[in-house]
Each structure stands twice: as structure tokens, then as C-alpha cells.
Amino acid sequence: MENNSTNEYTDRIRLHVLGISYSQIQSGAYALILAQENGPYRIPVVVGAAEAQSIAMKMEGVIPPRPMTHDLFTSLAQAYGVVLKEAFIYKFEDGIFSSELTFVDAAGREIVLDARTSDAIAIAMRTNSPVYTTKAILSETGFIMEVKDVEDELPSDRDIHEAITGEPNLETYTIEELEKELIRCIDREEYETAAKVQKLINRKRAEEEDDSASGLPM
């Protein structure tokens, strides 16, 4: 395979993982936010739930009881003396990012493999390897985050929890959000979950009443 990272593209931009949150575009997916190193641009990449979980666990330093697929891949490469040199997002076409991983084996030979961008990022994070893209892709897919909105772009604790566990962190929901969730659970006939949601609503209402009675701010 031709090595796009050394032949065709020379104007490369380094990226780092900024955060992960629910995708507003594709239901059941997540948005991985990549940030330009020392620059204002951000690139949103839609990833699946499994890949989001893997990335979120690495971000949070969570060690699973058994190795996940990306952990196993990384361990296998290390066992045979293969080092990941870099991950490179080299193309964006029809709404899909194309990436490749450049490895160096024990003999010093470079090996370039195609990879899904989500897998490339997950593996690069586990090996502390750099991630790059091109100026053209950054210009086409990136957006600039204003300084005053920096805190808004970071993933919430709820987003990270749900990416890791695959389940909603209901404790962080407001009563109004819980009431909407209760309706959704009933509509889907998930009565066991609905009962838990109703119990949480009752508890939160009781806590609000106690705070109100004690004169504490709501």
C-alpha cells in the first residue's frame, strides 16, 4: 500500500482528542471531537458506541477486567516489537474520514495499514502516538470554537459516563429530564427501568422539599 503520509501529503496538522459526546447527527452514535494542536480548529468525527466506549475508557483511565479489542491489538504489536509511528487521517469523502496507521517493525521497516478513524484514534491513544490530518481536511470539516465557548465544547461527566457504560447516568438528570425519560421507558415497555426512574423522581422531589423547608437555596 502506498504511504499517503509521506508521499502525497506534506502539509500535515497534528490533532489531539478533546472529548466525546452524543452525536447530534446520527442516532445511537457519538461525536469524537479532535482539536488542532495549538490552533482553534475542531473536527467532529462520528463513531459507534463500542469505539466511543473504548476511547472514553482510555480518557478516564478506566482499566477493564479483561482487555478490550484495542488493548489486545496494542499488546500484540508490542509483543512482536512493532511500534505505532503515527495515525493519519488522510481523506474525507462522502462524509467519511479515511485513516491509516504507520507501524515500524523490529527491523526498522515501515508498514502502513488502512484503519477506521475511530480504531486509529483508539489505538494511537493507547500507544501515545501522534495523530495527524491535512490542512485541506481541517479546512473542509473543521470549525472554530470561540474562546468564550471553550467550556461548552468539553464533554460533560454525563457524556463520558454514558460512553463508558452505555447506560444513561440518571442521577445527573433533572426532574424534568427524568419525567421525559419515564415517558420514553413506558412507551418502549421498559417497565423495570421506568420503575427505577419513578423512584428517582420521587427521591429528588423529596430532597427539593427538604431543601425548601430548611431554607437552603434550590
* pLDDT tens sequence across 159-200: 555 554 556 667 777 888 888 878 877 777 777 777 888 888
Query: Phi-psi bin for 109: left (phi > 0), alpha (psi -120 to 50), beta?
Result: beta
Confidence of residue 29 (pLDDT cuts 50, 70, 90): confident
Q: How far is 174 from 182, CA to CA, in rounded Å?
A: 12
Cα 92 from Cα 109, distance rounded (Å): 28
- Helix (H/G/I), strand (E/B), else coil: 110: strand
Q: What share of the chain is helix, strand, coil (3-state, %, to 5)?
A: 45, 25, 30
Least confident of 54-58, 99-103, 132-136, 142-146: 142-146
- Starting at the edge strand found earlier in the chain, the sheet holding 131-134 runs 110-116, 96-104, 83-93, 131-134, 12-22, 30-36, 41-47, 143-144
Question: Both ends of the chain: CA-CA distance in Å?
Answer: 61
Q: What is the pTM of this model?
A: 0.65
For residue 181, what pLDDT is reported? 79
